[in-house]
Amino acid sequence: MKALPTYEIRIAGQVDEATLTAFAGLTIRRLGEVTVITGQFDQAALHGMLEMIRSLGLDLLEARPIEVSPPADRGQHGAIRPDPERRSR
């Protein structure tokens, strides 16, 4: 099953703690005067999130998909496994 896309949603200003409870389960960061909410959404959930931001009276700056790096494939004791497709010189 394909993973849902990850979106970064930027809101103007520092959103107060009481309002942030509406975004439970999502990653929230404050960067200066911007609140950044990150999470995985299908299209319906993304539209619902944007509608919730509007209904809370928040000032949406940007909503964009972002690339998320998968965790490195590590073998035992944290060693990185060699790529079997890579040829040594």
DSSP secondary structure of 8-47: EEEEES---HHHHGGGTTSEEEEETTEEEEEEE--HHHHH
Average pLDDT over residues 4-19: 95
In tens, the pLDDT along 37-85 reads 999 999 999 999 999 999 999 999 999 999 987 655 544 444 444 444 4
The predicted pLDDT at position 68 comes to 81
CA-closest candidate to residue 53, choices 87, 13, 85 = 13
pTM as predicted: 0.73
Domains of the chain, each with CATH number or no CATH: 6-66 (3.30.70.3400)
